[in-house]
């Protein structure tokens, strides 16, 4: 029994080059894009305002049990269409789908193409969902082969236990409406997905993700900057990743590189569940068994697991639930900590 984070997205990461974790399906004219127009947390969300089918989601290791949550703000759609879909091996269509029925203000649940359950938005206590521009938390928990629960602001809108709840999930998608798509704006922020194999049902937590970009060199700087000259942090503080154009690198194993990051200010009534250092990294030689580990420093180190490096840039991250001194994270000890990487394996 375990909860394993599959991925999380504060959209200040500039995720949308098609190769970094979150999968996207763009419409023929309109696409998802990061936007500062209507963020929920931080400075950006992802937003679409157009007329063509598009969606985003995660591919999964084939698993039965998944939970995820995100915040959504909308101005309604032009048409009926799929809202959430789960895909399983051997099926051309979704094993499970929630469909938005525009004219009825209703969500319908389908499994194997058959309608099983519905809920009308006017029959729920979640009035915020009916308000244009109002952020709400949406979540779901799939217990493969047995149960599916869909929540808005923590209240179960659909709780379905019956035949044809899919197992062996390979992917899920959000927002894939029909060909006329979103007729008005839709914003999504603070998305995550967990694998929850063996866990009983629980409401997916409504997590918010704050970015803290590197803003100074840390106590240990053993890597080299490219191009040469200047501070190392200026090579990795991109507003949008530029891959090999600016980077830091090392020819040695066990070589550390640490950075200070910008101070954060927690929203009222929030606490830090985990700090998640992340890097976009690759190995220099495809034939080598190169690795890195993510780490945090406050006078002592907390090291994450050794992670294999891909042959081209991809996100690697580590979820740390306590600071390096084994204390719960606070705004103060986060702001005073440094975060970095250490080369491992064969460089």
HEC string for the chain: CCCEEEEEECHHHCCCCCCCCCEEECCCCCCCEEECCCCCCCCCEEEECCCCCEEEEEEEEEECEEEEEEEEEECCCCCCEEEEEEEECCCCCCCEEEEEECCCCEEEEEECCEEEEEEEHHHCCCHHHHCCCCCEEEEEEEECCCEEEEEECCEEEEEECCCCCCCCEEEEEECEECCCCCCCCEEEEEEEEEECCCCCCCCCCCCCCCCCCEEEEEEEECCEEECCCCCHHHHCCCCCCCHHHCEEECCCCCCEEEEEECCCCCCCCCCCCCECCEEEECCCCCCCCEEEEEEEECCCEEECCCEECCCCCEEEECCECECCCCCECCHHHHHHCEEEEEEEECC
Please report the pLDDT score of residue 129 as a whole number.
Answer: 64
Q: What angle do CA 314, 234, 335 make, to 5 degrees?
A: 85
Pick left, alpha or beta for residue 321 (phi over 0 → left; psi -120 to 50 → alpha; otherwise beta): alpha
Q: Cα 22 from chain centroid?
A: 7
Same fold, 4-195 and 214-345: yes
Residues 6+ apart with CB under 8 A from 308: 289, 290, 291, 345
What is the second-level CATH architecture of the domain 4-195?
Sandwich (2.60)
Cα of first residue to Cα of last residue in the chain, in angstroms, is 35
Please report the pLDDT score of residue 183 as a whole number.
Answer: 58
Please report the pLDDT score of residue 278 as a whole number.
Answer: 93
Splitting the chain (347 residues) into consecutive groups of 10 residues, what average pLDDT does each group show? 84 63 64 83 84 72 87 70 65 70 81 86 63 83 90 90 82 66 74 91 94 96 96 92 94 97 94 95 95 97 96 92 96 98 96
Please report the pLDDT score of residue 40 as a whole number.
Answer: 93
Please report the pLDDT score of residue 130 as a whole number.
Answer: 62
Does the domain at residues 214-345 carry the CATH identifier 3.20.20?
no
Q: Residue 31, class by beta-carbon neighbours within 10 Å (0-12 exposed, 13-18 middle, 19+ buried)?
A: middle
CB 18 within 8 A of CB 187: no
In the chain, the largest separation of any two C-alpha atoms, in whole Å, equals 63
Whether this model's pTM surpasses 0.85: yes
Please report the pLDDT score of residue 88 as a whole number.
Answer: 64
Domain range summary for the chain, segments of one domain joined by +: 4-195, 214-345
């Amino acid at each position: 029994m375990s909860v394993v984070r599959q991925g999380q997205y504060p959209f200040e990461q500039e995720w949308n080059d098609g190769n970094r974790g979150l999968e996207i399906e763009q419409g023929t004219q309109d696409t998802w894009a990061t936007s500062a127009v209507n963020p929920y947390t931080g400075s950006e969300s992802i937003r679409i305002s157009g007329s063509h089918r598009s969606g985003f989601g995660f591919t999964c290791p084939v698993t039965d049990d998944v939970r995820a949550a995100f915040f959504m703000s909308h101005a309604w759609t032009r048409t009926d269409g799929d809202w959430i879909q789960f895909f399983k091996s051997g099926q051309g269509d979704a094993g499970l789908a929630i469909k938005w029925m525009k004219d009825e203000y209703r969500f319908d649940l389908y499994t194997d193409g058959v309608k099983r359950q519905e809920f009308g938005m006017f029959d729920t206590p979640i009035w915020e969902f009916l308000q244009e521009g109002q952020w709400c938390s949406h979540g779901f928990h799939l217990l493969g082969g047995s149960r599916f629960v869909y929540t808005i602001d923590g209240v179960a809108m659909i709780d379905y236990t019956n035949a044809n709840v899919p197992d062996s999930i390979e992917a899920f998608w959000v927002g894939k409406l029909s060909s006329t798509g979103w007729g008005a704006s839709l914003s999504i922020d603070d998305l995550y997905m967990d694998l929850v194999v063996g866990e009983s049902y629980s409401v997916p937590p409504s997590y918010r993700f704050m970015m803290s970009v590197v803003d100074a060199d840390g106590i240990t700087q053993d890597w080299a900057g490219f191009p040469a000259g200047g501070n190392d942090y200026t090579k990795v503080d991109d507003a949008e990743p530029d891959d090999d154009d600016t980077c830091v690198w090392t020819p040695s194993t066990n070589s550390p590189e640490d950075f200070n990051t910008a101070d954060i200010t927690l929203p009222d009534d929030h606490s830090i569940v985990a700090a998640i250092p992340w890097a976009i990294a690759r190995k220099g030689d495809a034939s080598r068994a190169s690795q890195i580990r993510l780490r945090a420093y406050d006078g002592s180190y907390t090291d994450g697991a050794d992670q294999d490096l891909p042959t081209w840039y991809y996100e690697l991250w580590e979820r740390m639930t306590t600071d390096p001194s084994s204390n719960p994270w606070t705004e103060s000890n986060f702001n005073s900590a440094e975060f970095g990487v250490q080369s491992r394996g064969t460089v």
